[in-house]
Amino acid sequence: MNTYNSRNDVPEKEKWNLSDIYDSIEEWEEDYRKVEELTKELHSFNGNIKDGKALYNFLHKEEEVELLFKNVYVYAKLKGDLDTRETLAQSLLEKADQLGVKVNSATSFFTPFLLGLEKDTLERFIQDETGLDYFKKDLYDAFRYKDHVLTKENEELLSQLGESLSSPSRTFGMINNADIKFGEVTNDDGEKVELTRGQYSKLIEDEDRTKREEAYKAYYEPYVQLKNSIASTLSSAIKTNVTLSKLRHYPSALEKSLFGKKIPKEVYENLIQTTRANLDSMYKYTELRKETLAVDQLRQYDLAVPLVSGVKEDIPYDEAYETMMKALSPLGNDYLQVLKEMKDSRYIDVRETPGKRSGAYNLGLYGTHPFVLLNHQDDLDSLFTLAHEMGHAMHSYYSNKHQPQITAGYTIFVAEVASTVNEVLLINYLLKNAKNKDYRKYLLNHFIDQFKGTFFTQVMFAEFEKKTHERAEQGEPLNAESFSELYEALFQEYNGEALLLEEETKYGWARIPHFYRPFYVYQYATGFAAAIDIANKIMSGDEEVLANYLEFLKSGSSDYPIELLKKAGVDLTSPEPIENALNLFKELVEEFSAE
């Protein structure tokens, strides 16, 4: 595994080429000033949209500003994420955030104005100005929000509070990425060194149980120490969401989150209920893990170690990319050619370096290309992360190429489908080409653990979010104690009695960034279920499903997400895809047990 003490040590080919957006800070500042000027022009439309032509001019100008602002914001974010300690990059991001507030303020009048129109007035505007055909779907969709939009004055006030309302998330981000200092672990030379996230992902899988326990304790140490501060940020985020939901007259915070994409509340509730009704296979796997490891008491630091020893191997980044390409060959030559271009043209920032944002993501920028952040560790997990993020990147690439700006972005609900299809194709390729029985069993174990993390854990998180928001809605306290009590109970319920919980387990909520993006994580599970269905049909050679899937990748947000998935052959309003996924998990556990 390559480790780097400085970004300067990383090969150029493994670093983003941010000059694809701007060659210099001066160019960035020039666009920043352009957005400021254009924002003033947007202000001038307030109170002056009297006909279809004026309406078109405003929407056209708004789209121009949006594209320019995204360039400004994305450049600042990407630079900032490369080193969260670097003052200049963080100041650019702060400026971009402030600019975003100005843009939102300049356009905040529009939705109340639009919803104040009579429908026949809007129809006349569209009839009189042919340019409005481009915006027609969005305009009519906006009428769905008629009961949830405040007065013009209150909307402007809320837009001014934008930066303050996002403060809990930003504060947690700085704590989690820039300020966190993990405890110490013992290196191979017997010396004490500070744990990093990258080291933790390795050590928690180490065959030496003492090392796993030491890494686990060191990883959770700062979260336990900071539990009250982090509880304060999470409580503020939840209460803010609940308050905004009430102000906008939604029945609940959950329904506010689902409203925009027309996701029935039953999809969320059925996911939790169907999973809870099928936890027996999870309990069987927990028992199996305890037996295989031959421990008297199964602990949380025993949950990630592979159950098959002696077959783990390093997978260098270039080899990982080649393996991924072979695994994804069922998706066709065009798909593979674009993947190759993404690597060659430096769309990917590969290595973990000091101060770099943790984790991995894809950020698609319309008119430029996707940018993928990794913290690659040359192991099997990193191979799966690579395939996952490149699924996102390909979805962004195809949608941006085939959709106009207005519908190029895809919604979160469908976002995890492309990434998980890639993972399912990858595990099937690896299983099919396993060198021996032990390696096949190792891969089965890995996929079961991936399944557990992507599906069961996310459903548990989804239930945690649902219950914490309900508590806030009922005026119950939200603090470190109440978060911990709930999280500990859910963790036990989802993993079974064979697992003896650590004292640290209850503080798991304190380390989850997704909790600051309310009701996001359930979509990992629904997307996973949809992806399993699609991938299995593609692997069976169903050409129609493949063609429909590639069309889905090109569809952006041209329809509501539930409808887009139906076109791809998956109906998530039915429990069937969830049940199919859970049945697959049961089969995997039984196959692993029988090997």
The pLDDT tens digits along the chain (595 residues) read 567 888 999 999 999 999 999 999 999 999 999 999 999 999 999 999 999 999 999 999 999 999 999 999 999 999 999 999 888 889 999 999 999 999 999 999 998 899 889 889 999 999 999 999 999 999 999 888 888 888 778 888 887 887 888 889 999 999 988 888 999 999 888 889 999 888 898 899 999 999 999 999 999 999 999 999 999 999 999 999 999 999 999 999 999 999 988 999 999 999 999 999 999 999 999 999 999 999 999 999 999 998 998 787 889 999 999 999 999 999 999 999 999 999 999 999 999 999 999 889 999 999 999 999 999 999 888 999 999 999 999 999 999 999 999 999 998 889 989 999 999 999 999 999 998 889 899 999 989 998 999 899 999 999 999 999 999 999 999 999 999 999 999 999 999 999 999 999 999 999 999 999 999 999 989 999 999 989 989 999 999 999 999 999 999 999 999 999 999 989 888 888 899 899 999 999 999 998 7
pLDDT on residue 105: 93
Whether residue 243 is contained in a domain is answered as: no
* Rounded CA separation 203/182 (Å): 14
Query: Which residues neighbour 353 within 8 Å (Cβ) at sequence distance 6 or greater?
Result: 4, 5, 6, 7, 10, 82, 83
Whether residue 160 is contained in a domain is answered as: yes
Whether residue 289 is contained in a domain is answered as: no
Residues with catalytic roles: 389
Tokens coding 278 = 């099928």
**Contact (CB, 8 A) for 109 and 379:** no
**How many distinct structural domains can be found in the chain?**
1
Residues paired with residue 351 on neighbouring β-strands, in sequence order: 376
Whether residue 106 is contained in a domain is answered as: yes
Domain that holds residue 73: 7-165
In total, the chain counts a number of residues equal to 595
Strands 184-186 and 192-194, sheet pairing: antiparallel
Whether residue 119 is contained in a domain is answered as: yes
Scanning the structure block, which residue is given the tokens 């030559």?
333
Tokens coding 416 = 């995890």
Find, among 413, 526, 507, 520, the residue nearest to 469 by Cα. 520
Find, among 189, 184, 186, 183, the residue nearest to 208 by Cα. 186
Give the DSSP H or E segment for 370.
Answer: strand 370-376
Tokens coding 129 = 């100005």
* Rounded CA separation 250/259 (Å): 9
- pLDDT tens, residue by residue, 12-55: 999 999 999 999 999 999 999 999 999 999 999 999 999 999 99
Whether residue 80 is contained in a domain is answered as: yes
In the chain the first and final C-alpha atoms are separated, in Å, by: 31
Whether residue 361 is contained in a domain is answered as: no
- pLDDT tens, residue by residue, 439-464: 899 999 989 998 999 899 999 999 99
Tokens coding 330 = 């069922």
Whether residue 69 is contained in a domain is answered as: yes
Query: Which residues neighbour 497 within 8 Å (Cβ) at sequence distance 6 or greater?
Result: 283
Give φ, ψ of 348 to 5 degrees. -120, 130
pTM score:
0.81
In the chain, % helix, strand, coil (3-state, to 5) comes to 70, 5, 25
Q: Residue 13 sits in a domain of what CATH number?
A: 1.20.140.70
Give the DSSP letter of residue 346. Answer: T
